[in-house]
A and B are shown apart, each in its own frame.
Chain A
């Protein structure tokens, strides 16, 4: 693959409710920051990918409503309906097509403006499933029970993910919920849907992220230290929950295999220095660690307890605080990539991993991780 780098990132603060900005305002802010970061202007951008969801935005073809903020006028612009990491994938392939030297990718959502339970209920099949009344949280809880039944992972193991990530968020000025918690704080928080407590679930959030990808010759014009795309993989599983084995993220393992193959990663547990994963729910961080081959199946909880995934551990996971500390859906996966970029540039402050040469970032789309996008990013070409 031709060398492509991430040369600019921009993130808004993640908040429970941004009352002063509409969704396009958030994207203006993120794009402005990404251009400043790269030392580029909108004229240096060859094409644009926006990432959005009409249901969440409450607007038909809402991608068009962030066009101005994404600088699309007189440019080729396309949209991904889904997670931002998938938007970035599309942006990368457009550069690899040879038609564009740079891509600006944007992603946004404002969870504060709708009822998340109703929006995610509408992700279920309207004929066979929707009337039952499930939503993203009840579906995730069902998955958590299946995973725990299969592996023997316990509620306190899940709680440790929450303790770690909320604690890490204390070092992230963009985080919505930095908190010093104990395992018992998590277990004592309201039982939302068995086995998930309130602190096992990511919050409803507002936020946006922008990223600039550039071909090697164009990356040289940016002022930032480039972060290189070493590998990327994208894989989906069956739509209906009952068609899948919810306890094993098959599509994540397949996506990781592709990404690792490109990046020359043969032993992810040792070769990956840090990871930013899609921890929408505590059990999912454990499942994703295992699906990415960073721990044997059912054993991520043991490594977590030993501190392996802490900021000071051998493979920090979500040193940024992750989605448990702020979850603007759609932007979430792009934010994981941007946080990995901050680490690889050595800009993560108190959350900086001691070794940050190779990182993994993950985006997820669909209920219970139907589809995964895995990025391997590197500080060296």
Chain B
């Protein structure tokens, strides 16, 4: 009896699946306090007492000194765009975000690190590195990073 070895005749088949594993991240005390601040339209950061670096978003421990960031500071709601990009076509990760979307790094006044967020309230073509922006908050806070709706030009 001969065995047919020709697998090229096998029709391609996909086995569809959607991995859906519910997962809940505890925000942790540092992020929880940060989000509580956002709901009151305040942006808080933490400072390392060793190197005086101010982290936004706040960190519990300074990654450079390995020391606890024990001091909370209120930041200005204004800052400078240090990097950005304009997404013109839908990408799966963007969910329902309106196009074009501008993703940006914003270094808030008083902070030493930049916060990843989005720019709104202006034409995407007007966004520049070095542009001054201020935070626009959600009217009904939900308790997360999206309680800042976007940063808009000052």
Contact = CB atoms under 8 A, between A and B. Distances in A.
Contacts of B17: 58
A137 B89 CA distance: 12
A143 B146 CA distance: 23
A238 B103 contact: no
A149 B129 contact: yes
B145 A145 contact: no
A192 interface: yes
A20 B7 contact: yes
B116 A241 contact: yes
B31 A127 contact: yes
A128 B116 contact: yes
B146 A131 contact: yes
B39 to A, nearest CB: 15
Contacts of A124: 116
A102 to B, nearest CB: 32
Nearest to A140: B85
A242 B103 contact: no
A240 B82 CA distance: 14
A134 B113 contact: no
Given A58-B17, A146-B129, A193-B87, A134 B114 contact: no
Main SS of chain B's interface residues? mixed
A242 to B, nearest CB: 3
Residue of A131, A142, A246 with most chain B CB atoms under a 10 A cut-off: A142
A115 B92 contact: yes
Contacts of B113: 240, 242-243
A118 B89 contact: no
A240 B31 CA distance: 14
Given A20-B7, A128-B145, A132-B145, A242 B105 contact: yes
A189 interface: no
Interface in B53-91: 55-57, 63, 82-89, 91
Contacts of A19: 12
Contacts, number: 110
A145 B83 contact: yes
B25 A126 contact: yes
A193 B115 CA distance: 20
Contacts of A149: 129
A63 B17 CA distance: 20
A143 B85 CA distance: 8
A134 B116 contact: yes
A121 interface: yes
Interface residues of B, number: 42
B103 A192 contact: no
A134 to B, nearest CB: 5
B103 A142 contact: yes
Given A127-B27, A128-B57, A240-B113, A118 B88 contact: no
Given A19-B12, A126-B25, A194-B86, A138 B103 contact: yes
Nearest to A120: B93
A52 B106 CA distance: 34
Given A242-B105, A243-B113, A191 B88 contact: yes
B144 A138 contact: no
Contact of A242 (B19, B28, B115): B115
A361 interface: no
A190 interface: yes
Given A127-B27, A132-B103, A193-B88, A145 B117 contact: no
Contacts of A142: 83-85, 103-105
A20 B82 CA distance: 46
Interface string A37-65: 00000000000000000000010000000
B36 interface: no
A289 interface: no
Contact of B91 (A127, A135, A143, A191): A135
B118 A132 contact: yes
Interface in B115-143: 115-118, 129
Contact of A131 (B84, B89, B144): B144
Contacts of A127: 25, 27-28, 31, 145
Given A128-B145, A242-B105, 6 more contacts: A118-B92, A127-B145, A133-B91, A145-B83, A191-B88, A193-B88
26 contacts: A19-B12, A115-B92, A117-B91, A117-B92, A117-B94, A118-B92, A127-B28, A129-B116, A129-B145, A131-B144, A132-B118, A133-B97, A133-B103, A134-B93, A135-B92, A137-B91, A138-B85, A138-B87, A138-B91, A146-B83, A194-B86, A238-B63, A242-B105, A242-B107, A242-B115, A243-B114
Interface of A: 19-20, 58, 115, 117-118, 120-121, 124, 126-129, 131-135, 137-138, 141-146, 149, 190-195, 238, 240-243, 246
